[in-house]
Amino acid sequence: MSFLELQNITKIYPNGTKAVNETSLNIENGEFVVFVGPSGCGKSTLLRMIAGLEDITNGEISLDGNIINKIDPSERDVAMVFQNYALYPHMSVFNNMAYGLKNRGISKEEINNKVNDVAKLLEIDQLLTRKPSMLSGGQRQRVAMGRAIVRNPKIFLFDEPLSNLDAKLRNQMRLEIKRLQRQMGVTSIFVTHDQTEAMTLGDRIVVINNGVVEQVGTPKEIYSKPNTKFVAEFIGSPQMNLFNCKIENGIAHIADMKINLNNSTNIDDATLGIRPDDILISDNGKHSCVANLVEYLGSDMIIYSKIGDQEFSCKLSSKINLNAGDTFKFEISGTSVHLFDNTTGSRV
């Protein structure tokens, strides 16, 4: 039995919206799992149901062998870091961190020790007497984490905690969260809509769309073998190119371009996906196109072009000399493409 088990979890709001639909998931002890998906896909709802902040319409959640559906949030032994941190504005940093412990009737001395230890770990020991309004964004973030860590919970739940920080701080905190999680080995669930966060943080990623789990896997699995068209499009930057095509006898036809897949598939209505960096630009490439737009990103550049009336992009080293309006030659290898059946939306 897994540490945290979700079985056929469904959430229907009183107004009839189905936020989460028949979701099942197993999470092992010590794992760092990231829920990723577009906004409104139900990832936060799922997290809040684990925390006990939302009722579960259907299904069962068990934590460490106990079914926790009806257990009060405070007794589930979970700690949550909120998007806006939800620090207690009228309490000092120390009291913010100590509040949960006080409610559990832990002795003053022990509270002192615990809070001080965690404050040192997070390098906020200088700030303990301050009020949250006197802290910077990054410091608030640390306090919010400290408040979760100090309780030593069974699970950490993070609800988009980095979205209020500026880009530089976000990268820094991301690394820190990962480091802390490794160090403490506490099972963690992290909700985000940012695929970079998902890829870098997660031991496993759960891609959610419209209240349904599209795919669960390691970042590598998700990136290299997306199960559905949605996952293919959602993960990876720049986005994977998706071409509508017809496949006859292992040959994909995109407009007048032919790509040999080296198999004998036959699909009338298919989608062929290829990552922008899997398109090989070379002078002896079989296909040629005109670069409509070139985006220079420093070490890389992205070229936007069209095959027939379908747009695509390719990513290549900016050492190659190519300007908008130039014609370029490229090659698509049949082994680096992803095929999806349009009738089912899933991988072939």
Which of 23, 25, 58, 24 lies closest to 41, judged by CA? 23
- Considering only 83, 171, 239, 346, the residue that binds other proteins (CB under 8 A) is 83
Angle between helices 137-150 and 93-103 (to 10 degrees): 20
**How many residues sit close enough to other proteins to count as binding (CB under 8 A)?**
24
Q: Is 84 in the site for other proteins (CB under 8 A)?
A: yes
**Shortest reach from residue 108's CB to other proteins, in Å:** 17
Side chain identity at residue 138, one-letter code: G
Burial bucket for residue 64 (CB in 10 Å: 0-12, 13-18, 19+): middle
Of the pair 75, 109, the CB lying nearest other proteins is at: 75
List all residues 6 or more positions away from 275 whose beta carbon is below 8 Å from its beta carbon.
Answer: 236, 240, 241, 336
- Considering only 7, 18, 26, 53, the residue that binds other proteins (CB under 8 A) is 53
- Considering only 12, 71, 86, 302, the residue that binds other proteins (CB under 8 A) is 86
- Considering only 40, 73, 138, 285, the residue that binds other proteins (CB under 8 A) is 73
3-state secondary structure of 5: strand
- Considering only 30, 40, 59, 100, the residue that binds other proteins (CB under 8 A) is 100
Q: Is 79 in the site for other proteins (CB under 8 A)?
A: yes
Distances (CA, A) of 316 to 16, 106, 211, 301: 47, 58, 36, 6
List all residues 6 or more positions away from 151 whose beta carbon is below 8 Å from its beta carbon.
Answer: 79, 100, 101
**Shortest reach from residue 16's CB to other proteins, in Å:** 18
Q: Is 15 in the site for other proteins (CB under 8 A)?
A: no
- Considering only 15, 107, 133, 284, the residue that binds other proteins (CB under 8 A) is 133
Of the pair 100, 137, the CB lying nearest other proteins is at: 100
Of the pair 83, 310, the CB lying nearest other proteins is at: 83
Give phi and psi for 107, each to the nearest 5: -65, 155
Of the pair 78, 289, the CB lying nearest other proteins is at: 78
341: β partners: 270
Neighbour order of strands in the sheet with 279-281: 279-281, 327-332, 287-290
Q: Is 137 in the site for other proteins (CB under 8 A)?
A: no
Q: Is 57 in the site for other proteins (CB under 8 A)?
A: no
Report the first-to-last Cα separation within the chain, whole angstroms: 32
**Shortest reach from residue 57's CB to other proteins, in Å:** 17
Q: Where on the chain is the footprint of other proteins (CB under 8 A)?
A: 51-53, 73-75, 78-80, 82-84, 86, 88-90, 99-100, 103-104, 131, 133, 147, 151
